[in-house]
Amino acid sequence: MSPADQPEKRKALIEEGFCVFESILNEEMLSRVTCASNRLLDAQDKEHFEKQKSTGSLICVYDDPFFADLVGWQPALDALNSLGYVAPKFSTGFVISKPPHSPPLFWHQDWWGWEHPHSYTPNPQQIFLMYYLVDTTPKNGCLRLIPGSHLHRHPLHDISEAHTEEIRLAEDVTSPAYLDHPDEMDVCVKAGDVVMGDSRLLPVKPKVLLMDEPCSALDPKGTEAVEELIWELRGQYTILIVTHNMAQARRASEECIFYAAGQSDRTQPN
């Protein structure tokens, strides 16, 4: 490791456990990564998504030739270099895409070397790079994590082991693995940004679900199932729905805002 020429970001990585580099992907590369990710998502069968209800999807890209371009993407390597990492080694990567009506993401950390004493030093032993293909805010489920949880013992470290089948299936969303915590914070980013973080860090679930035309391609039976799910989830999340179906807006919401000709009208559904 060489001296960092981004001391503030380096400090954030060491102390908080993460830092954000903006606009690492240009428009062309962002489009290419989006297309490659959609290709992999479209290739998955229903069983894959059933097994990954909490994460939405978890598609390994290790053997996909395109992602070699992303691993060797020079702006990202330059960002790592600016943190003092001049010879990074790739381990693996995944495409994760959470549908808006999916269960919450479980608390977890992805470090595997806790038996080694280096795991208890300030310097990261492994860094994750999270590339974002869309803008994220608390309204559509941005990354949420607990700063400093990579260096200090946290009560959530005592929950049951993450990444088990039971956890991935989200069979019991009342488990502490899914619940909010007062120490959590939002990390809002733009499409093309990358979050670099210590693999020991604890990320968490979103509080708000944004559903953009969730029933646009569904038959009446499918629409009914989605609307029932919305009502089942309303105690766990704030849910925002964008729809052109006026009847659905009244059926599936506790409060509606109608827009017409640039004017808005707020009403309580009957």
Among 13-22, 73-82, 101-110, 154-163, the range scoring the smallest mean pLDDT is: 154-163
Instruction: Tell me the two tokens of residue 70.
Output: 């992303």
Could you tell me if 37 and 169 lie in one domain? yes
In 3D, which of 159, 180, 164, 145 has the Cα closest to residue 53?
164
Is residue 89, in this structure, part of any structural domain at all? yes
Classify 263 as helix, strand or coil.
strand
Confidence category of residue 41, pLDDT binned at 50, 70, 90: very high
* CATH code (residue 68): 2.60.120.620
Same domain, 250 and 202: no
* Length of the chain, in residues: 270
Mean pLDDT of the residues in the chain: 84
Closest CA to 139 of 194, 186, 204, 191: 186
- The model's pLDDT over 143-182, given as tens digits with 9 standing for 90+, comes to 889 898 888 877 777 775 667 787 788 878 788 777 778 8
- What pLDDT shows up at residue 270? 53
**Order of strands, sheet of 194-198, starting from the edge strand that comes earlier in the sequence:** 18-21, 194-198, 127-131
Q: Are 148 and 254 found together in one domain?
A: no
Percent of the chain topping pLDDT 90: 39
Residues 166 and 245 in one domain: no
Given pLDDT bands bounded at 50, 70 and 90, which one contains residue 24?
A: very high
> How much is the pLDDT for 59?
95
The reply to whether 223 and 165 lie within a common domain is no
DSSP letters for 81-133? HHTT-SS------EE----TTSPPPPP------TTSGGGGSSS-SSEEEEE-S
User: Structural domain tally of the chain?
Assistant: 2
Residue 1 covered by a domain: no
pLDDT digits (tens, 9 = 90+) for 215-267: 877 788 878 877 887 777 666 567 788 888 888 888 888 888 877 777 767 66
Enter the pTM of the model. 0.71
Same domain for 146 and 258, yes or no, is no
Co-location of 149 and 242 in the same domain: no
Residue 2 lies in a domain: no
139 domain residue, yes or no: yes
pLDDT band at 13 (very low <50, low <70, confident <90, very high): very high
What is residue 106's predicted lDDT score, i.e. its pLDDT?
83
- Please report which confidence band the pLDDT of residue 32 belongs to, taking 50, 70 and 90 as the band edges: very high
Within-domain flag for 79: yes
Q: Answer yes or no: do 173 and 260 share one domain.
A: no
For the segment 190-198, the average pLDDT, to the nearest whole number, is: 96
Does residue 22 belong to any structural domain of this protein? yes
Statement to judge: residues 150 and 180 lie in one domain: yes
Domain, as residue range, for 231: 211-267
- Which one is predicted more confidently, 181 or 64? 64
Together in a domain, 149 and 256: no
Residue 205 has a pLDDT of 45
